[in-house]
Structure 1
Amino acid sequence: MKDLDAAPRAQEMDEVQTEKIGAEPTGTGREKGLAMLQGLDRFFASLNYSYGLRMIVGIALAWFVAFRLQTDKPYWAIMTVMIVTLPTQSELLEKFIARLIGTVVGAISVNIIAAYALDDQWLFVIYMAFWLALCAYLASARSSMLTYCFSLCGYTSAILGFSLSVIPSSYMVFQISQARILEIWIGLVTAFFISMLWPAYLEHRDIRHKLRAKRFKVRELYEMLLTPGQDHKAFAMQYKSTLQDLMDFRDRVFQSFLSVSTERNEVLSIYQNGHRLITAMSGVLSLESMKHDLLKSDREAMIDYLDRLREWFLKGQSRERKLATKPVAPDALLSSSKGRYFVKQLDDKLMDLLALRAPDTDRADLYIPSIRIYYSDRKEALINGARTFLSIIAGMAFWMGTQWETGYILLVLIGLICTLGATYPMINKLLTVTLVLTIFMTVPVAYMLKFGVLIKANGLLPAMLIVLPIYFFAAMIKIRSLIGFLIGYAFMLSSVFLIGFANPMTYNFAQFANNALSVVIALVIILMIFNIIRPSSDDRKIERILESINHQFTLVEKNVTPKAVRDYEAYLYSAIYKARIIPESYGKARFLSYAFLTLVILRQQLALSNNEVRWALPDALQTAIQYEQFEEALSLIPEYEKNAHNDAERMNYWELSAAIRALLVFLDHHQSNFADQ
């Protein structure tokens, strides 16, 4: 679901203080009015106008070219522009290549199916249903590149295939295929070149602002870490929020490598700093728990050290000056092995954070995991494929049973909705209802536009001046949030289909009514099948993610190397990214906790192996952690710590117990929150 990252980026301080924008203003009426105006100003300033302008310029150009080339259904070119125009140039480049390949594969597949089964409508539709179900499965199960390839493959196949089913002749197969492919390619090429020619400096500036905002949030977290009396639960919540933001940012920066107008060294520098921020975050939750342990045993020394360290940390100094004036830990703290270990770990984390100011000459930490490393929920993908197949068969049965003259449009719509919707396998009930309501509300709006306004337009330019501002507004809604994305996306695609920007434009109410009825029936059939073959519950999705992560963790734990740990991190971040639209729940908190704990263990093993110390997690402890029996794991650790072979191994167990205690605090906070609700 990378399309869903389209929300515009605000300035650094605006982003950090987003939660304050919606706060109830206090004071006089004038102050309230000023606060409201300031909120509106921030809202309008945060909109991605560049994306909206690229969208409508692309629509206008595709519409114009399709008309000039005398294609009979230019609305397919317009719809293609709407589908493939993305918020950033780099995203478009990646998905343009995938969708171009998908279009060719879809066209070839339909022609092969037509060669064998076009004379028998039912057989042809069954073959098409199998093919579209496969496209939906692969769009759900594969990596980002293949997701969009098979999504547009299904999109092209649905448009071509079911249009052919009503005119079964080899001549019409060629005619319809070349017409639809031309319209789709007009949309693809137009969107690509408009985005490539569009100035991309705003994207680059925005990424740099985003990096500064993330650095600011990490510094806030470190300030909390260096505060002796910091609330443990508040720290855990801040940690979770900051880390999730960083992972979203990491994904966006990774896509910038594909931007043709971005200096590679600049992107490498931003990627390196983003990774350094994530590295600086790793282990901080354990340090917070270790800090609380030491505050009980060496309270005075810890308070003295943390106060001096916090004062030093908040000073605005150059990196060299900071390194030269860093406070030394008191002897009382260094006299114990736990105190020495804590000071060393904290020093390492502070150096990771200060490394953000270092010159970008060292590329040792620039290993970029392969795009083939990603989490895939294949069971949910299989459910999507089965749902697509049954929906198409149900649509065909309705068409044949009613002998509806334009019933093939119903199959086209079902194919489009299922294959495009397959790119969002984690979609939930709220989002589905939002999508359906938006499409239903689009019908009267499209009617008023077509028969109330466009019918009076006497040319292409007046029609564009009427429609394009509306689509500009819809594009702005689309990139505000996930709900906004579905509203804007559904409105744009369904309104284009209902209005039917044909060449020439026709104003036939019967045709409009048929198209509107097709949309409604397609949704009813899909929702009916959706109710029969239900998506997995959020808890079940989380369980499958946990099973997959545990499997990967077991494999890496047997042979820990720097590359294996980085690849595991990438897999973990991919799973967290896929699960981001699952509502907050105790199960999701468990998943995040387990993911964090596995990283702590692997990094401990890696650190020890770098010092030529071999350490493996004892079987009983590994089993307790695997089954999330954290209390039992805590009870086992003291015995292992007591029997440790050396001090390094002993400190390893202490850090592990601190990490588990931090996770229990985190889970307890979530459990109490959901119990209150």
Structure 2
Amino acid sequence: MLRSCLLGYMPERALLAGWYARVNALMNARLLGINDARSLLTDVAQGERENLLIHRQLRLASGFLSLKAMSLRLLQGGGADAIGYLGALAAWLDEDAFPPDAAPPRPTGAMASSSAGNHFYSTLLGCLEATGSQAAEPTTAVGHVFAGPRVYRDRHEMRLNAARTFCSLLIGVFFWLGTDWDMGYILAVLIGISCALGAHYPMVNRLVLMVLAAVALAVPTAYALLFGVFISTSELPPAMLALSPVLLVAGAGKSLSTTAFIFFHVFILGVIFLINFANPISYDFSRYANMAVAAVFSVIIVALVFYFIPQSADRSKLRRMSRAIAARFTRDMARPPLHAPFEDYVYSAIFLTRNMPRCMEKQRFIRLCCLTLAVSRVRYLAWRQSAVALPFPSFFVAALIREDYPACLAWAMRNREESDEAAWGYWWETETVLRYLLDGRVTGI
């Protein structure tokens, strides 16, 4: 990430796409770490260390746009000294061990005497300290990204999913009581599980088809195991040997893709559910048939309810997310500088869009997230490191949200010219970010 910030111009779309992929990879790693922490075999100290490292890398991602914009500005106006210095930094980062044992090269020549070069160097040092081995020490509390007040919640989708769950359960209970079905209570359980799976998945129609196909495959598989293998043995080891290949193949299939993960995960759950609830000791076919019918009917009922109460379109979700982030950013800019809660809020919203297909609304959403994180980070660092309160009035925030970059750039340039030495670098950093986005819009890339 740091190396890609140093040399060469990168179009805005490619830059934001790479940043978006890195953030989602880090968020996914953090989610896996949280899940692994629940295992008794996990080293708690090592897990905390890895969690803190991922958290520091997410903090580094907030400054990705700033580093890229500043390095590009230095390349354009710094002459041969800037080109040589950034080349030396890239060579230093190419060393085998990261972070390298030696300190990064300091600016030389005209770069050493310029405020811009010194500010870039201090920003780079801060990023390296965030990724170094000393950053892994659990000295600070790590914010919650998947729970608590720092998490983005789409309340509109929550209400829709509550309505879908209620209607699905109501239909299932009526079907159960109206047919005097002995095992009909299982239908309500399966309906609740299906509604939970479809709560945040963007392509819910595809999800329902995958679940239905997985259940359709699980029914004959469970029947073959129960009445073809288990019935012929009275001991546990042969039964385990017969079930193991099915679980191994399905487990390997889960690693193929996200779609395959969902399909084989539902398949494994379906096979285990059908075998366990059918009571493999009694080999009662009528009980097994009840379980199979309940599994199929639960998916059909949920599919019908999702058809009549569909999810919002991806564009609508992205617009709601953009409005929520803009509102949170506006509130935070009127309060004392505090970057971490806003950062966690934005990253939790980004993680919800990881399965959404690319579109213009998603590109605008990613740009808004990256830009607001960069401005919030600059404001916080100016206050923490230099005790400088950067004024970002309401008209600047409103212009930033509606993508009126010329007005924001004019304000940043005027403040840079009128500021003292302590605040100059932070206004220059803000100016480079806005200029980078404005240049990309002018050139159409």
TM-score scaled to structure 1, two decimals?
0.57
Instruction: Decide whether aligned partners of structure 1 residues 579 and 453 sit closer, same or farther in structure 2, where only a CA change above 3 A counts.
Output: same
Shift of residue 260 of structure 1?
A: 4.8
Instruction: Decide whether aligned partners of structure 1 residues 243 and 460 sit closer, same or farther in structure 2, where only a CA change above 3 A counts.
Output: closer
Q: 1:589-638, CA deviations, whole angstroms, 9 ceiling, x for partnerless residues?
A: 32222122222122222122232222231222211223xx32x2234422
Q: 1:552-607, CA deviations, whole angstroms, 9 ceiling, x for partnerless residues?
A: 3233222234xx42222222222222332333333233222212222212222212
- 8 Å CA contact 1:542–1:588 kept in 2: the answer is yes
Residue among 260, 282, 288 paired with 2:62: 282
Residue among 420, 424, 435 paired with 2:211: 435
How far apart, in 1, do the equivalents of 2:374 and 2:353 lie?
21
- 8 Å CA contact 1:233–1:665 kept in 2: the answer is no
Deviates more, 1:252-261 or 1:388-397: 252-261
Matches within 5 A, 1:318-329: 322-323=102-103, 326-329=104-107
2:432 paired with 1:652: no
Matches within 5 A, 1:608-619: 608-610=382-384, 611-619=386-394
Residue among 537, 549, 552 paired with 2:328: 552
Instruction: Decide whether aligned partners of structure 1 residues 539 and 317 sit closer, same or farther in structure 2, where only a CA change above 3 A counts.
Output: closer
- 8 Å CA contact 2:318–2:361 kept in 1: the answer is yes
| Map of 2:268 onto structure 1 | 492
Q: Residue 422 of structure 1 aligns to a residue in which SS?
A: helix
| Map of 1:211 onto structure 2 | none
How far apart, in 1, do the equivalents of 2:287 and 2:382 lie?
72
Shift of residue 528 of structure 1?
A: 1.2
Q: Residue 328 of structure 1 aligns to a residue in which SS?
A: coil
Deviates more, 1:491-500 or 1:536-545: 491-500
Residue among 604, 617, 621 paired with 2:396: 621
Deviates more, 1:596-605 or 1:517-526: 517-526
Instruction: Decide whether aligned partners of structure 1 residues 608 and 532 sit closer, same or farther in structure 2, where only a CA change above 3 A counts.
Output: same
Shift of residue 243 of structure 1?
A: 2.7
| Map of 2:409 onto structure 1 | 637
How far apart, in 2, do the equivalents of 1:502 and 1:441 lie?
20
TM-score scaled to structure 2, two decimals?
0.84
Deviates more, 1:278-287 or 1:452-461: 452-461
Instruction: Decide whether aligned partners of structure 1 residues 442 and 263 sit closer, same or farther in structure 2, where only a CA change above 3 A counts.
Output: closer
Write the letter of the residue equivalent to 2:159. Answer: L
Shift of residue 441 of structure 1?
A: 2.9
Write the letter of the residue equivalent to 2:414. Answer: K
How far apart, in 2, do the equivalents of 1:580 and 1:665 lie?
27
Q: Residue 581 of structure 1 aligns to a residue in which SS?
A: coil
Matches within 5 A, 1:45-84: none
Residue among 189, 202, 225 paired with 1:415: 189
Instruction: Decide whether aligned partners of structure 1 residues 425 and 492 sit closer, same or farther in structure 2, where only a CA change above 3 A counts.
Output: same
Shift of residue 531 of structure 1?
A: 0.6
Q: Residue 354 of structure 2 aligns to a residue in which SS?
A: helix
Instruction: Decide whether aligned partners of structure 1 residues 415 and 445 sit closer, same or farther in structure 2, where only a CA change above 3 A counts.
Output: same
Shift of residue 229 of structure 1?
A: 5.9
Residue among 126, 149, 154 paired with 1:377: 154
Q: Residue 270 of structure 2 aligns to a residue in which SS?
A: helix
How far apart, in 2, do the equivalents of 1:490 and 1:255 lie?
19
Residue among 493, 501, 504 paired with 2:281: 504
How far apart, in 2, do the equivalents of 1:302 and 1:539 lie?
42
How far apart, in 2, do the equivalents of 1:614 and 1:257 lie?
40
- 8 Å CA contact 1:608–1:614 kept in 2: the answer is yes
How far apart, in 1, do the equivalents of 2:273 and 2:442 lie?
50
How far apart, in 2, do the equivalents of 1:242 and 1:396 lie?
45
How far apart, in 2, do the equivalents of 1:397 and 1:480 lie?
39
How far apart, in 2, do the equivalents of 1:635 and 1:457 lie?
78
| Map of 1:242 onto structure 2 | 22
Any unmatched runs of 5+ in structure 2?
none
How far apart, in 2, do the equivalents of 1:651 and 1:523 lie?
58
Matches within 5 A, 1:414-493: 414-419=188-193, 421-422=195-196, 425-427=199-201, 428=203, 429-478=205-254, 480-493=256-269
- 8 Å CA contact 1:224–1:230 kept in 2: the answer is no
How far apart, in 2, do the equivalents of 1:393 and 1:477 lie?
35
Instruction: Decide whether aligned partners of structure 1 residues 385 and 233 sit closer, same or farther in structure 2, where only a CA change above 3 A counts.
Output: closer
2:335 paired with 1:579: no
Residue among 281, 302, 306 paired with 2:86: 306
Instruction: Decide whether aligned partners of structure 1 residues 262 and 405 sit closer, same or farther in structure 2, where only a CA change above 3 A counts.
Output: closer
Instruction: Decide whether aligned partners of structure 1 residues 415 and 269 sit closer, same or farther in structure 2, where only a CA change above 3 A counts.
Output: closer
| Map of 1:271 onto structure 2 | 51
| Map of 1:7 onto structure 2 | none
| Map of 2:123 onto structure 1 | 345
Q: Residue 322 of structure 1 aligns to a residue in which SS?
A: coil
Q: 1:436-458, CA deviations, whole angstroms, 9 ceiling, x for partnerless residues?
A: 22212333333333444444334
Shift of residue 263 of structure 1?
A: 4.9
Q: Residue 142 of structure 2 aligns to a residue in which SS?
A: coil
- 8 Å CA contact 1:289–1:662 kept in 2: the answer is yes
Which has the larger share of helix?
1
Residue among 166, 179, 189 paired with 1:389: 166
Shift of residue 525 of structure 1?
A: 2.0
How far apart, in 2, do the equivalents of 1:464 and 1:342 lie?
61
Any unmatched runs of 5+ in structure 1?
1-220, 673-677
2:14 paired with 1:227: no
2:382 paired with 1:605: no
Deviates more, 1:291-300 or 1:640-649: 640-649
| Map of 2:301 onto structure 1 | 525
Write the letter of the residue equivalent to 1:624. Answer: A
Instruction: Decide whether aligned partners of structure 1 residues 567 and 255 sit closer, same or farther in structure 2, where only a CA change above 3 A counts.
Output: farther
- 8 Å CA contact 1:604–1:652 kept in 2: the answer is yes
Instruction: Decide whether aligned partners of structure 1 residues 641 and 584 sit closer, same or farther in structure 2, where only a CA change above 3 A counts.
Output: same
How far apart, in 1, do the equivalents of 2:135 and 2:380 lie?
26
Instruction: Decide whether aligned partners of structure 1 residues 313 and 320 sit closer, same or farther in structure 2, where only a CA change above 3 A counts.
Output: closer
Write the letter of the residue equivalent to 2:241. Answer: L
How far apart, in 2, do the equivalents of 1:667 and 1:465 lie?
61
Deviates more, 1:644-653 or 1:370-379: 644-653
Instruction: Decide whether aligned partners of structure 1 residues 424 and 479 sit closer, same or farther in structure 2, where only a CA change above 3 A counts.
Output: farther
Q: How many aligned positions are there?
A: 436
How far apart, in 1, do the equivalents of 2:39 and 2:171 lie?
43
